[in-house]
């Protein structure tokens, strides 16, 4: 039921569902939101998740950044473990490791084929995996939306582009454009999509994006920004005084479009992939804004630069953590982490000002 329960700190009801005014399955919901949430809730009722994420306590920290803290013991103990080395951003697909063609059929939500104009996208119940394996061309390989069986939040799903093509976890123009289309199909500002590269806490080397509904702003969305340059109607800015240095690429101006935004950001991602720089992406504003996050947390650990108490938390800052939604694995961290300690943790992931500035200058030369 939507409503009736006392609200949590993140704005959701105590059972994890959104407050009625924000419900993506309400009367003003897009077909995408209504279909996704209806089927996601069916999966929840049928017990297909490894734990009930709606039982996870959540609170907002006092302070300037308003970090969102979630205690998720189920994700800590039941999430699938990484099966590859984290030191290379670009690795070949390995069919012997877990990939989404091995997902259970009942994890499927629908297949997703964007069409123009937006909001007329075709969503079909997914065919059987045997039918998937008979796909012969890229055009026939379906873009699948699956439940995330180890969810972080309400409505947590995975987008797997061209699932039977078995693409590795790398960004291209076409696949990023697809993710922006999916974001645009949602009529709800609380639905965001994230991407983690290898080395930036992707755990499966099969191309996928993650999306879920969070009923308040990610702290990074509230961060001050400074404009840097424009590229084909896309504004590129950077965060100011946020614990992690982030590029903010937006296509809000008249005449800007999702294809140009995808072109600019995919150029950045391809540069990260070519230089073995781990990175994360956060897609917001129904696909009109992308936070581009080069990071070095795993390398800082390998170099012995991360304080032991930060390592002991077991938090691996992937896209949603860096954006300010902290998924915690221990009760003591949920009880004791305050804003200064959270800032100190996230600062371990950021590039230096010199390295970040060098990357931004290169992008300005390439794109402006």
DSSP secondary structure, 76-127, as one string? HHHSPPP-S-SS-S-----TTS--GGGS-GGGEEEEEE--SSTT--EEE---
Q: Is 181 a catalytic residue?
A: no
Residue 58: CA atoms inside 13 Å, Cβ hemisphere, count?
Answer: 28
Phi, psi at residue 229, to the nearest 5°? -165, 170
| Residue 271: Cβ-neighbour burial (10 angstroms; 0-12, 13-18, 19+) | middle
Phi, psi at residue 297, to the nearest 5°? -60, -45
For residue 352, give both structure tokens: 């230096």
Which of 43, 208, 267, 325 is the catalytic position?
208
- Find the radius of gyration of the CA atoms of the chain: 19
Query: CA 215, CA 194: separation in Å to the nearest integer?
Result: 16
- In total, the chain counts a number of residues equal to 368
For residue 126, give both structure tokens: 């997914």
Query: CA 284, CA 344: separation in Å to the nearest integer?
Result: 25
- Say if residues 152 and 325 touch (Cβ distance below 8 Å): yes
Catalytic residue numbers? 208
């Amino acid at each position: 039921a939507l409503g009736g329960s006392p609200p949590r700190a993140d704005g959701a009801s105590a059972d994890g569902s959104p407050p009625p005014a924000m419900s993506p399955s309400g009367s003003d919901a897009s077909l995408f939101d209504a279909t996704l949430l209806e089927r996601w809730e069916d999966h929840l009722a049928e017990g297909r998740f490894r734990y009930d994420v709606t039982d996870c306590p959540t609170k907002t920290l006092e302070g300037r950044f308003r970090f969102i803290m979630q205690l998720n013991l189920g994700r800590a103990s039941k999430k699938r473990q990484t099966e590859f080395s984290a030191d290379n951003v670009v690795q070949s697909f390995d069919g012997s490791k877990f990939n989404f063609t091995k997902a259970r059929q009942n994890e499927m939500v629908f297949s997703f084929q964007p069409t123009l104009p937006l909001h007329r996208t075709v969503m079909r119940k997914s065919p059987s995996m045997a039918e998937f394996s008979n796909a012969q061309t890229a055009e026939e390989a379906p873009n699948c939306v699956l439940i995330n069986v180890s969810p972080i939040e309400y409505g947590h799903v995975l987008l797997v582009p061209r699932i039977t093509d078995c693409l590795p976890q790398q960004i291209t123009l076409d696949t990023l454009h697809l993710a922006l289309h999916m974001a645009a199909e949602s009529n709800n500002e609380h639905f965001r999509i994230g991407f983690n590269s290898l080395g930036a806490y992707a755990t499966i080397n099969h191309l996928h994006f993650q999306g879920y509904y969070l009923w308040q702003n990610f702290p990074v969305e509230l961060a001050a920004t400074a404009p840097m340059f424009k590229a084909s109607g896309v504004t590129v800015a950077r965060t100011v005084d946020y614990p992690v240095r982030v590029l903010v690429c937006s296509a809000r101006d008249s005449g800007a479009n999702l294809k140009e935004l995808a072109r600019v950001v995919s150029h950045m991602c391809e540069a990260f992939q070519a230089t073995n720089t781990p990175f994360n992406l956060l897609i917001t504003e129904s696909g009109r804004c992308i936070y581009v996050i080069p990071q070095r947390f795993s390398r800082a650990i390998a170099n012995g630069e991360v304080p032991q108490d930060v390592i002991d938390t077991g938090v691996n800052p992937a896209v949603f953590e860096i954006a300010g939604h902290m998924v915690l694995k221990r009760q003591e961290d949920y009880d004791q982490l305050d804003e200064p300690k959270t800032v100190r943790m996230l600062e371990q992931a950021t590039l230096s000002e010199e390295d970040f500035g060098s990357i931004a200058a290169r992008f300005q030369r390439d794109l402006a």
